[in-house]
């Protein structure tokens, strides 16, 4: 695929991960997650056939839909049009997101040289970025939806990296089951929290 398209995909991918890290607006987060999976599809085409790459995007969109449907049924989702001012926390997380993006961009060449010579720099930037964004989100957030988004982001980053290292149908199938189970757990957490609030 065209290098320019792949670069654009990496930029959009990291931007969507950054939106999920920074902004706390459920509808926006779910859309960013869906975009993330579409970008992963474009990037993974480098190492997978379109058919196998399509599995990732289909699973990702299924995961996103599951979370979205749960949020809709919980009745807590806000309209995208609602505008809120940036909080100090969001400003802090934006700075961190910028830093993480920069680290992924700068660390990818040395990582490629020292550990993953068969993976391209673009792919490494994307996967490292997702792993870092996911890790930061998991480490700082206690709200279930964001934790699940963090876990999904972290897993996507790792899957992207691993896809460039090894191909195994069994592993792909297991990753698919893990992603779907994670969405199920996320939905369960959301429902549980809504139930406990309404008590």
Q: Which is nearer to another protein, 26 or 175 (CB)?
A: 175
Q: Which is nearer to another protein, 4 or 114 (CB)?
A: 114
Among 155, 22, 188, smallest CA distance to 92 is for: 22
- Cα 148 from Cα 52, distance rounded (Å): 24
Q: Which is nearer to another protein, 29 or 172 (CB)?
A: 172
CB neighbourhood size of 163 (10 A): 24
Spell out the residues 6+ positions from residue 111 whose beta carbon is closer than 8 angstroms to its own: 124, 128
Near another protein by CB under 8 A: residue from 15, 31, 155, 156? 155
Q: Which is nearer to another protein, 79 or 196 (CB)?
A: 196
Rounded to the nearest 10 degrees, the angle between the axes of helix 88-114 and helix 121-140 is 140
CB neighbourhood size of 46 (10 A): 16
Task: Determine if 162 is a binding residue for another protein (CB under 8 A).
Answer: yes
Task: Please report how close the Cβ of residue 199 comes to another protein at its closest, in angstroms.
Answer: 7
Question: Which residue ranges make up the site for another protein (CB under 8 A)?
Answer: 115, 131, 135, 138-139, 142, 144, 147, 151, 154-155, 158, 162, 165-166, 168-171, 173-175, 177-178, 181-182, 184-185, 188-189, 192-193, 195-197, 199
């Amino acid at each position: 695929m065209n290098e320019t398209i792949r670069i654009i995909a990496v930029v959009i991918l990291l931007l969507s991960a950054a939106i999920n890290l920074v902004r706390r607006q459920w509808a926006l987060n779910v859309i960013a997650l869906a975009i993330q999976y579409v970008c992963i599809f474009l990037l993974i085409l480098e190492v997978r056939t379109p058919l196998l790459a399509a599995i990732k995007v289909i699973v990702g969109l299924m995961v996103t839909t599951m979370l979205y449907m749960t949020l809709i049924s919980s009745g807590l989702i806000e309209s995208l049009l609602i505008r809120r001012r940036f909080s100090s926390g969001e400003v802090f997380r934006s700075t961190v997101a910028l830093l993480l993006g920069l680290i992924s961009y700068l660390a990818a060449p040395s990582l490629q040289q020292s550990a993953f010579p068969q993976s391209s720099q673009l792919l490494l930037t994307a996967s490292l970025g997702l792993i870092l964004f996911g890790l930061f989100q998991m480490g700082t957030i206690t709200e279930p939806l964001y934790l699940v988004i963090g876990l999904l982001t972290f897993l996507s980053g790792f899957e992207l990296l691993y896809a460039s290292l090894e191909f195994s149908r069994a592993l792909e199938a297991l990753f698919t089951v893990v992603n779907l189970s994670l969405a199920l757990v996320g939905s369960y957490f959301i429902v549980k929290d809504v139930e406990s609030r309404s008590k």
